[in-house]
Each structure stands twice: as C-alpha cells, then as structure tokens.
Amino acid sequence: MRVAELLVKCLEHEGVKYIFGVPGEENIDIMDALLDSNIEFILTRHETSAAFMAGTYGRLTGKPGVCLATLGPGATNLLTGVANSNMDLSPLVALTGQAGLERQHKISHQYYDLVSIYEPVTKWNAQIKTTEIVPEVVRKAFQVATQEKPGATHIDIPEDIAAMELEMDATPLEITQHPLSEAGDQVIQEAAKIIEQAKHPLILAGNGITRGNASDSLHALVEKTNIPVVHSFMGKGALSWENELSLLTAGMGGKDYITCGFKQSDLIIAIGFDIAEYPPKNWNPEAATKVLHIDTEEAETDANYPVALNVLGSINENLKKLNESLSPKERDNNWVKNVRKDALAELDQFKDDVSFPIKPQKIVSDLRSVLNEEDIVISDVGAHKMWMARMYHTYQPNTCLISNGLASMGVAVPSAIAAKMVHPNRNVVAVCGDGSFQMTSAELETAKRLHLPIIVLLWRDEGYGLIEWHQQKKFQRSSYIKFENPDFIQLAKSYGFEAMQIQKGEELKPTLEKAISLNKPVLIDCPVDYRENMKLTEKLGDVLC
C-alpha cells in the first residue's frame, strides 16, 4: 500500500464524502488513490473556490470539509479560502501536494515552505515526512478542526512520501469524541444573579449558538426572561425574526436602529459571539456596559468588552442550566416594539416600489417573499451584503450565510454549490455583486456539470459599490471603483445556465418565482440603484435613541 492510499483510507475512516479541489503534478498519487475510493472528488475551476466550498460544507454539516491543491500557486490560491474558513470558525481540512524532501533544502521549482505559510491561517498544520505518521496526522487534523472553536487545519504531503510503499501495515486511528464540559453550578448561579440584577439586559447572539445546536435553548431562555435578542451577521436565525423579542441584526458601523438597543442596555449577554465580526467598540464605545460572556472559550481581551463573568463549555447545556436557575420576569419592552417597527418598516416601505434600476430594499423584499423558511441564501461580500444582513430576515439558523470574519469576495457561488450538495431539497440562492461574482464565476461550469440547480442573483452596478460607499462617506467623492462588465446573459448561457435579465422594477419577483420553478441552474441579472447607500447613511445619521 502506498502512503497516498493510506491517506485516502484514513479520510474514508473520518467519514469524508467529498474532496473539493484541483489536481496537479505533485498530488497525482493522491488523485490516483481516489479512483478506488468511495470519496467523490469535486473538480473545481480554481483552488480558492474549492476551499470556499469545503468551508461552507463544514459550516452546514459541522464536519470538516476537505479541499486539495498542488504545491506552489495551487497552494497559495487555496490559502485565501482556508483563511476565510478559519476566521469564520468553519471546520476544514486542507491537503496540499508538495515538492519531494530531496529538494526542500534549496530554491526549487514551485517550492515554498507551506507549513510556514499556512501557520497563521490555520489552527494546526503539519507536513508528512515519514510514512508511519499518516494515521496520527489525519486524525489530529480532523480532531483539531472540529474542536471548539472550530477552524482550518492543513496537511502538506511531499510527492516522494505520497508515492512510497509502506514497510508495515497501518490503519486509521480510532475516532474518539470530545464532548464539551459544562459550567459549574456556582458559575451558573452567579450568571443568573447578574442577569436578575440587570434592569435592561440584551442578548447578542452569535454563530456559536448555531454551531452548538442551541437555538431551542435560546428560545426557551428568551420566552422565560423576556430579554430581547440582537443577532450578529453570522448569528442570523438563532431566534426567528417573527419573535417579538427579536431585534433583528446588528453589525453595520455607525448608528442604526439596533444601536438604540445597546444604548438602552445595562448588561450585554453575549452568547456564542465572536468579536472578529462585530468589534465591541462599535456597540460599547465607552466600555460602560458590562458583558456576560457565554461561549465555549474565554472572551478575547478587548478594552470595550468588559467581561463580568465567563460561562464556558457547551452553550446548549449551559443555556438550559441557566434557564432553570432564572425566574420568569416581565419587562417593559415597549422600546423593543418601537425598534422593530422602525426596522421592519423599511422592508414594507419598498415592497411595492417599481422604480428602475431596482432599489436594494426592493430586491431583498422580493427575495424574502419567494423563498421558504428553510431555503438558503448565501451573500457574497460587497454593498449587497450590508443590505442583506440588515433586511433579509431569517426564521432558522444557517439559512442566510454571511462570511463576516475574513469576509472574502467571491465566496457566494462556490458556497451555493456546497450548500446545494448538503441540502438538495432546499432552494439555494447566491446573492452576488458584479465585482464579487467575476472573481469565481467560472464555477458556474462546476454547478452545471454537477447538475446543481442553484440560482445566482446578480446585483449589477458596474463597480465596487461597498468601497464607493465608504469613499463617499469619508471624502464625498469616489476613486477608481468603476469597471465594465461582459454580457452576463451570454456568459451564463455559455456555461449552460438559464439566464434572465431584469428590465423593469415589477419584473423581479415573478422572475425569481420562475427561476425556482425551473429547477435548473439560473442566473438573474438585476441592475441595482446604489444611490440608496448614501441615503441610508444620511437616514441612520438622524436616528435618535
């Protein structure tokens, strides 16, 4: 048995169903071994896309997605997607082919020290330098990737090692589970005391609630205590937007309706929240409000995140214990109703708007109206991300995926492919700007080849809209953000997609409905009126709390 065959055997033992990637000369032994495996190799058009797919697979399943690239440019292309998953706390295992050991001591064709390059963007990584360590390395990569907080790991496989014959029998290591501990009773009682003493507590719900399958426990806590909940971008859906105590989503810089919730509060109960996606200085600028930190790990040290108490371990179990320790309490939540009214009014205000190009609020309203509660929307990075985060309201966790750690452009189309593979019976929509779309648009071919009926909703403005938004806010003018586009209809058709172009404001909703009914890969080219960006900035500047 070759080392490459043992590696694949270990991956099978870990339950790997797919490997996303691009083959190369230095990983040919692995590619050959996969021919005799039940693992399906998903050939992608770019290594970054492969990592995006693996990261989304990991986020939706809780099991590490696996991606593969060759050495040199293949590995550096893969790096961005790996870093994206690591900062988004999605479990992922990256595999890279590498130059043989005999030429790693000198300057050599396509050789870089990938263990050193990957070290800052992974939880753990290693090179396989001897044949007998393969089972240990694979087991550790998967174990570390899934341990809280989850993230990316990396295995580097030199081509000469991959081709070696094993001198002795080797088998995969046994998989052992590592359940999270629970906070002690004394900590739970102290947390309950802090909550009961607060006059205006507020829950800040992060993605850890979804990872920990703790949405039901959060709902029970909210129902008992009447504490309102605001979600981070990646925490969307932890509590249904229909719940009267949902303050929807926070995360935009500057003032917003939800800012009033933070100003009203004398205690922030941060649950499964990661400060990388919403810096505390944005919502606790004077560090005047104390924080009750409920998570799997201690809070990051931050001057604007004054932790009164850490409640560590299983979020789900700790929320259950905390709920048992709290007494039912009525609260004056009229301010919550007012904030919800103002925030939800924006969506209703534009649902019948027929102006063209179409306003962002109208696009979001139409999209929400045609999708089911369990359908999945993946937002790429750009101005559309801010509108989707604020106004696309969710019923369930992991139904609006927003990358808000590294926040890499180009994530939506590859992620939609992975999401459709995980949930084939749900509608899956990739919401892209024309800037982000072209960074990974070649993956339309991948979607078509795999017969995956994803929908790409393209917000077209011929520029980098989010950057222009920031430029206008700071300098009242923009610089170097405009570009020209191809004919997206012809582009999509050339890949085998159905393609539809919006030419009137009233066409979007019926077009979305038609796209869903076709059950085919579809691209919708929708011109967007981003003049609304600065109008929103001005409007939020007038918000009074």
Q: In this structure, what CATH number is given to the domain that contains residue 414?
A: 3.40.50.970
Mean pLDDT of the chain: 94
Give me the helix-helix angle, 360-370 and 508-518, nearest 10°. Answer: 40
Q: Strands (DSSP E) along 25-158, which ranges? A: 40-43, 65-69, 92-98, 124-127, 152-158
- Chain position carrying tokens 């990739």: 430
Query: How far is residue 82's CA from residue 460's CA, in Å, rounded to a whole number?
Result: 28
Indicate whether 254 pLDDT > 60.
no
213-252 tens-digit pLDDT: 999 999 999 999 999 999 999 999 999 999 999 999 987 6
What pLDDT score was predicted for residue 333?
85
**Do 451 and 310 sit in the same domain of this protein?**
no
Residue 169 lies in a domain: no
- Whole-angstrom distance, CA of residue 353 vs CA of residue 334: 30
Task: State the Cα–Cα distance between residues 319 and 148, nearest whole angstrom.
Answer: 17
Same domain, 309 and 385: no
Asked if residue 246 and residue 320 are part of one domain, the reply reads: yes
Q: Do 360 and 314 fall into the same domain?
A: no
Count of structural domains, the chain: 3
State whether 89 and 140 are in the same domain.
yes
Is 100 a domain residue? yes
Helix 73-88 / helix 47-61 crossing angle, nearest 10 deg: 30
Position 35: which residue type? L
Query: What pLDDT is stored for residue 102 in this prediction?
Result: 87
Look at the alpha carbons of 217, 92, 154, 130 in this order and tell me if their dihedral is positive or negative.
positive
Contacts of 122 (CB under 8 A, 6+ apart): 82, 86, 94, 151, 152, 153, 154
The residue among 132, 163, 194 that closes a domain is 163
Angle at 534 between CA 533 and CA 536, to 5 degrees: 70
Contact present, 84 and 66 (Cβ < 8 Å): no
In a domain, 221, yes or no: yes
CA dihedral 456, 457, 462, 465 (to 10 degrees): -110
Flag whether pLDDT at 260 surpasses 80: no
What is the pTM assigned to this prediction?
0.95
In whole angstroms, what is the distance from residue 290 CA to residue 265 CA? 9
Residues 214 and 115 in one domain: no
Tens-digit pLDDT profile for residues 279-318: 999 899 999 999 999 999 999 999 999 999 999 999 999 9
What confidence score (pLDDT) does residue 255 get?
A: 64
Are residue 75 and residue 121 in the same domain, yes or no? yes
What is the side-by-side strand order in the sheet with 267-271? 246-249, 229-231, 201-205, 267-271, 290-295, 307-312
Does residue 461 lie within any of the structural domains? yes
One domain, residues 129 and 244: no
Domain, as residue range, for 317? 185-337
d(CA 15, CA 32): 19
Q: Is residue 346 part of a domain?
A: no
Question: Which amino acid is present at 178?
Answer: H
